[in-house]
Structure 1
Amino acid sequence: MTNRIYIGNLPYQTTEGDLAALFRRIGPVAEVLVPRDATTGRARGFGFVRMSDDNDARRAIGVLDAHQLAARRLVVRAAREWDGGG
């Protein structure tokens, strides 16, 4: 398993700081990314977190999948590797 986590169904106002704070409840966070719309600057509704430890990543998925954030139920899964191909 990878320590990189996909988070879906994020509220559009979510920031990197919001996600970091949520996942730090589980363990140390190495990196957070919340892609934004180039025109509006609004979050696109998904993000990624890289935990410092694989065990913390597994635990975060188990604890935070279906977690309510601003009235939205998060989808938390191990991120799939992307090779950049189309």
Structure 2
Amino acid sequence: MGKKLYVGNLSYSLDDQYLVDLFSEFGTVESARIVTDRDSGRSKGFAFVEMSSDSEAQAAIEKLNGTDQQGRAMNVSEAKPMAPRENRGGFGGGGNRNNSRGGGFGGGRPRY
């Protein structure tokens, strides 16, 4: 199994293929995905790259971390596992566990 890398501080003009080409110098790139905003589709300035082996991933970290890529100092490190998300609430979902009134539409105020 490969090693997943976090790549941050990216120029917003970069695309997935740029990362594949850049990281391929250090081994086989299993996947490269720039994270985009769900609504606008624009880059959020970071990505995840998966290399085929730990040694290739380590070489990429050592050689690429801090390098200038289109005017920005790129950060490359081992990706950390995603933390579990809490229920953020929403419309009537009662996201605040300490408030028994639920949430979403101004809860608790008298209606006129």
| TM-score, with length taken from structure 2 | 0.71
Deviations 1:1-24 (A, max 9, x none): x71100000000111001111000
SS in 1 for 2:32: strand
TM-aligned CA deviation for residue 45 of structure 1: 0.3
SS in 1 for 2:50: strand
Unaligned runs of 5+ in 1: none
SS in 1 for 2:43: coil
Q: Is this contact kept in 2: 1:5–1:79, CA < 8 A?
A: yes
Unaligned runs of 5+ in 2: 87-112
Number of the residue aligned with 1:14: 14
Number of the residue aligned with 2:29: 29
Deviations 1:19-72 (A, max 9, x none): 111000111100111111233322110000000111000110000000110010
What letter is aligned with 2:81? E
Q: Is this contact kept in 2: 1:7–1:47, CA < 8 A?
A: yes
Larger radius of gyration: 2
Q: State how far apart, in whole Å, the 1-side matches of 2:23 and 2:64 are.
A: 8
Aligned residue pairs, count: 85
Aligned-residue Cα RMSD (Å) equals 1.3
> Which is bigger in relative contact order (C-alpha 8 A, separation at least 6)?
1
What letter is aligned with 1:6? Y
| TM-score, with length taken from structure 1 | 0.91
Q: Does 1:42 align with 2:33?
A: no
Number of the residue aligned with 2:75: 75
TM-aligned CA deviation for residue 83 of structure 1: 4.3
